[in-house]
Amino acid sequence: MKLLVTGGAGYVGSVVTRLLLDAGHQVVVLDDLSRNDSAQVPAGADFVQARVHDAGRVLTREAGFDAVFHFAGLIAAGESMAHPEWHWDNNTTGSLALLDAMRAAGVPRIIFSSTAATYGDPSELPLTETAITKPVNTYGATKLAVDMAITSEAHAHELAAISLRYFNVAGALIHPDGTMLGERHDPETHLIPIALEVAAGKREKLQLFGDDYPTPDGTCVRDYIHVADLAQAHLLALGALTKSEHRIYNLGNGTGFSNRQVVDAVREVTGHAIPVEIAPRRPGDPASLYASSEKARRELSWVPARPQLRDIVSDAWEFYRHG
């Protein structure tokens, strides 16, 4: 297929692009490089530097795209509270422009990167796709708005659509040919790469926000999913798209890991002491958040190959040192 991957210079988009190329697809990456100084567009993909708002420049009828994978967007929840206008513009206005361009060019399929943040405080655990969606930050709200717009588009204009709601993506693609693709966010807000920065001596210590939550060791429990497993689900989703339907799938491990368990795994993998400082709880942080991915397993036949925390951390460390 001929595919457009927005945000394909970023973490998840680049890994999916690589697997799509491996599967024999033709891929054009569209990314404005706004958030990725260390852009990683896999060799073999064509690259267009543009905002997703201007996707119509690439998505023409003549170009004949079969599907769009839409990763482009801003991802930091804290930033979305300080600068909500950036997130509404990038994530929501940009996505609406993309849908307009797809409609005009007759592109019939989309796979969208949605997020666990659409649910807000969990109304049930593990979280299924029918849980209440009540985002507690602007980031989650901008993504939920796009999910809703995609549902309308599917029903009104026969779009075939799947939203994949990721939980915490981690790890790196260590390709058999030696290529490594991983996580380099700036500023980094994700626990595993921050802990690796401590292991590498780039940070003095790791802050854990709260150790008095009602969890087995008092620290927050989150769901970590290996980026290569997550990427594989996108390829399966491509084969499951159905005209006029918008399906939603949660992608997580199904098991939560506590912040302390993550730190222990980083200590074990890196062999470095990770000094930890307990800081006050952050407002809006739920004690536990983890997914049920039963629907993806059942309907997409998705089976994560590297669900162990140790493997996730070890691949992230490999990328950190040599990627």
Ligand X SMILES: NC(=O)c1ccc[n+]([C@@H]2O[C@H](COP(=O)([O-])OP(=O)(O)OC[C@H]3O[C@@H](n4cnc5c(N)ncnc54)[C@H](O)[C@@H]3O)[C@@H](O)[C@H]2O)c1
Q: Give catalytic status of residue 139 as yes or no.
A: yes
Give Cβ neighbours of residue 259 (< 8 Å, ≥ 6 apart).
Answer: 191, 208, 219, 220, 221, 222
Interaction between residue 17 and ligand X (CB under 6 A) = no
Q: Which of these ranges, 7-15, 124-132, 208-216, 242-250, lies near ligand X under the rule CB under 6 A?
A: 7-15
Interaction between residue 236 and ligand X (CB under 6 A) = no
User: Is 284 within 8 Å of 143 (Cβ atoms)?
Assistant: no
Interaction between residue 51 and ligand X (CB under 6 A) = yes
The alpha carbon of residue 263 and the mean position of all alpha carbons in its chain are separated, in whole angstroms, by 22
Interaction between residue 35 and ligand X (CB under 6 A) = yes
Interaction between residue 102 and ligand X (CB under 6 A) = no
Q: Which of these ranges, 17-25, 29-37, 60-68, 303-311, lies near ligand X under the rule CB under 6 A?
A: 29-37
Interaction between residue 142 and ligand X (CB under 6 A) = no
The alpha carbon of residue 56 and the mean position of all alpha carbons in its chain are separated, in whole angstroms, by 24
Interaction between residue 213 and ligand X (CB under 6 A) = no
Pick between residue 33 and residue 125 the one whose CB is nearest to ligand X. Answer: 33
Nearest to 182 by CA among 297, 36, 283: 36
- Minimum distance between the CB of residue 74 and ligand X, rounded to whole angstroms? 6
Q: Alpha carbon of 54 to those of 28, 105, 112: distances in Å?
A: 14, 13, 17
- Minimum distance between the CB of residue 15 and ligand X, rounded to whole angstroms? 8
Give the bridge partners for 249, in sequence order.
164
Q: Alpha carbon of 265 to those of 158, 193, 255: distances in Å?
A: 46, 12, 15
Pick between residue 227 and residue 263 the one whose CB is nearest to ligand X. Answer: 227
Interaction between residue 140 and ligand X (CB under 6 A) = no
Which of 42, 94, 108, 304 binds ligand X (CB under 6 A)? It is: 94
State phi, psi for 178 to the nearest 5 degrees: 100, -15
Selecting among 119, 139, 290, 320, the annotated active-site residue is: 139
Scan residues 248-307 and list those touching ligand X (CB under 6 A).
Answer: none
Interaction between residue 168 and ligand X (CB under 6 A) = yes
Interaction between residue 129 and ligand X (CB under 6 A) = no
User: Is 110 within 8 Å of 161 (Cβ atoms)?
Assistant: yes
Give Cβ neighbours of residue 152 (< 8 Å, ≥ 6 apart).
Answer: none
Give Cβ neighbours of residue 286 (< 8 Å, ≥ 6 apart).
Answer: 121, 122, 220
Q: Which two three-digit tokens encode residue 56?
A: 């119509």
Interaction between residue 194 and ligand X (CB under 6 A) = no
Which residues here bind ligand X, judged by CB under 6 A? 6-7, 9-13, 31-36, 51-52, 71-75, 90, 94, 113, 115, 166, 168-169, 185
The residues assigned a catalytic role are 139
